[in-house]
Structure 1
């Protein structure tokens, strides 16, 4: 990142903020940044991320050619390259910068860049492969899949889209697959243990949720120490005597399907050897499959089914969750794990290819082609008819993405029949269904072509002499 010959004034692109940047926050949430890992922010600007991470207990340092040029550059387990590539106007220098960041990363490189949907926020004229702004700063805006492909090309390894405009690249398969496993298979939460009795309770709870006894090295350290005196045969005896067989059987089926989902996604993103898999996944394979080969073959067949429109439509019809329309299935994020495995695979593949947005409420899976949209209704839980704020769409065939914001529109789309997006067991389903039934009886759905937007819905409420008070429908006079 040499300053000679610049056509743009890059220091002006370094903005001030009060907390973590979006990419750094994502890396913290994804456990790529932890207190035990040192972090190098390469191109740190004014250093806000460095200071925020230091306050969180991380050993973080930052280097920047303008603001922090005298910091000694040394490798670190985690390297952040956030909003740097998009401000470099020289493609050759851009590539060298990414290569150097990759060389400095010991475990993972976190790369972020501004995306093409932000073009309306950038006022400038064409310059090279980007825009030169009035402030003499440069911006090369990336497509979400373009950024991932560029990082893969330069580093020579497969990358994962953590979120739109944020890409993780790992130095080894073990780290990459551990990250994928956390995204796909719910992280095992162990009950706290303070004595042998509570440790046994935690063990039984784990077996009922995972479908198999754990190995000692899978347990939290305290639990492992409290149960370390027990032989494997004694642990199996405790499990047989205390665990609910029905719960264990149901969890074993769920763990089997989760493992197939993980292996199918792993193939989509590059499958590694058995020994590179996270330990818990290895043990699930040994417990629920005859061999790794058999598990992979079944996962491969699952992935092939994504190409079959008839099979996908059948899975949508059979799904116990979601609202099925003539074009797509809509599912609330709380119900995603209750979809058929092939539909969960559908959504996961799109998220890894181009990133799942940080804020979303519903996933929309199209019947034909393979396109996924994530829709954000921030007031879904509190508003009986929440308004759409943003949508982000990924076409798995072309990897093209699109983003739309509705926050400033006067007549936004809104939702009806909220219970249909949830699983029947969801605690809010009954309340939402009661509201829908009352609205149907009041005649509010008699003209469905009018009620999809705010203005149309308000006019129908007025026509029927009704108003909403929370999730209750009331009569109004006049």
Structure 2
């Protein structure tokens, strides 16, 4: 934990805030998230406000970032100057004075010129914090304080203090952008990542990269959408020549599929944008603007269609039909379960369902399976760390977001002696996933051996092991073999 970032004298001097600062060798989870989300890009200045012992500062410096850190106890001489990115990492939860907590957040927001990254410990960590009730939190035996936030509480609190829309990046991590265009660009990056370009080393490969883009996006790019190296190699051609080359080289069917996919992706983005606050056309990222111009008669028409998509998310029958029609995932009487490798292959309304939950309360960094309920509109991200290696992976955590209340909760199975586990792994994946044949062979062997005759028993470790013993079988990797008698 960090020391506090407030500059004034504490009203309750018995609280030893600096004792919450821990030594760490690697980056904190919120800073890893900001790196993954490209918020700590090269050329951006960073201020770690309330940096504690400075582990994130040192790690970011090793990565080549321009970063300063300040902390009232450990780095009182650090520079407090405006920066593109301000990190307020596990600071708000250690300040016992609500007024000072608010001032600290306001100051951090004032210092951020591009984005403020705020993180806090969450209510489900209460079992790790022992103490007595104190103000709006807990006072530990070490005289440290913790105010544990609910995910929706953190989002609401930061929006209230900053007066800006907040995007949930992960559980307990939110981003606040100074510029609305930057917020919309981040949403686009989360919902519809930019198509990656093939490398261009000469004219031939540059043309191949252009054709590949057109086939995947369904439209030609504008010059300022094109990587500089590719643009320079293609500059020798006139516009008409490039169009002819693409027309002669691109597969029309593939281009049509790309156009259909981009149209649906644009509707998905605009629907998510409405869920989190829609801006004018000119504030959209350039690539989205071009998609709208290419595949819709107008921005208004695109918004109308995306609004209808968002309304369909409320229709239980429509959502259930989409789940029945999905070519990926395992459908049960209560939910659709989809592996993260197949999540973008779900019908568009189901992708919207999952994205709305992630934008509302943050998608966890580690997860393997997304669970979408038929009714009640709730998404759970289930972490099976050994999904690929373990023939029957055991669950580690479940993070649930209720889209009606926007409340979130986490369940940990790390100390459970009889964890739930998965069967028929191939059913969670897309049919063309390269691992499907191997997983399916195992399922067929297990069914043939009689291991699925008692489905009510095999959902947990103990029950599954008992059935293996009953059938005289054991597992070696993804192979079912006869059990050797003791």
Q: In the alignment, which of 233, 237, 241 is matched to residue 240 of structure 2?
A: 233
Match of 2:411 in 1: 404
TM-superposition CA deviations, 1:101-120 (whole Å, max 9, x none): 11111110000000000000
Matched, 1:116 2:123: yes
TM-superposition CA deviations, 1:74-107 (whole Å, max 9, x none): 1111000000000011111111111111111111
Taking the aligned partners of 1:221 and 1:145, their CA distance within structure 2 comes to 42
The answer to whether the Cα contact below 8 Å between 2:397 and 2:413 also exists between their aligned partners in 1 is yes
- Give the Å deviation of 1:477: 4.3
Taking the aligned partners of 1:107 and 1:254, their CA distance within structure 2 comes to 32
Match of 1:142 in 2: 149
Matched, 1:30 2:44: no
Matched, 1:427 2:427: no
Match of 1:63 in 2: 70
Match of 2:451 in 1: 444
- Give the Å deviation of 1:476: 2.4
- Give the Å deviation of 1:186: 2.8
Aligned ranges 1:9-28 → 2 under 5 Å: 9-28=16-35
Point out the more displaced range, 122-131 or 185-194. Answer: 185-194
Match of 2:366 in 1: 359
- Give the Å deviation of 1:229: 2.6
Match of 2:256 in 1: 249
- How many residue pairs were aligned? 478
Match of 2:423 in 1: 416
Aligned ranges 1:339-350 → 2 under 5 Å: 339-350=346-357
Aligned ranges 1:125-274 → 2 under 5 Å: 125-274=132-281
- Structure 2: stretches of 5+ with no match in the other structure: 1-5
Match of 1:328 in 2: 335
Taking the aligned partners of 1:41 and 1:237, their CA distance within structure 2 comes to 52
- Give the Å deviation of 1:306: 0.9
TM-superposition CA deviations, 1:236-279 (whole Å, max 9, x none): 11110101111111111111111000000000000001111111
The answer to whether the Cα contact below 8 Å between 2:68 and 2:79 also exists between their aligned partners in 1 is no
The answer to whether the Cα contact below 8 Å between 1:3 and 1:65 also exists between their aligned partners in 2 is no
The answer to whether the Cα contact below 8 Å between 1:35 and 1:56 also exists between their aligned partners in 2 is no
TM-score by length of 1: 0.99
Match of 2:3 in 1: none
> 1:40 aligns to what SS in structure 2?
strand
Matched, 1:395 2:402: yes
Taking the aligned partners of 2:193 and 2:481, their CA distance within structure 1 comes to 41
- Structure 1: stretches of 5+ with no match in the other structure: none
Taking the aligned partners of 2:242 and 2:388, their CA distance within structure 1 comes to 43
Matched, 1:96 2:103: yes
> 1:36 aligns to what SS in structure 2?
coil
Match of 2:283 in 1: 276
> 2:291 aligns to what SS in structure 1?
helix
- Give the Å deviation of 1:173: 1.3
Match of 1:6 in 2: 12
TM-superposition CA deviations, 1:167-206 (whole Å, max 9, x none): 0010111111111111111332111112111111111111
> 2:313 aligns to what SS in structure 1?
helix
Matched, 1:106 2:106: no
The answer to whether the Cα contact below 8 Å between 2:11 and 2:97 also exists between their aligned partners in 1 is no
The answer to whether the Cα contact below 8 Å between 1:108 and 1:168 also exists between their aligned partners in 2 is yes
> 2:370 aligns to what SS in structure 1?
strand
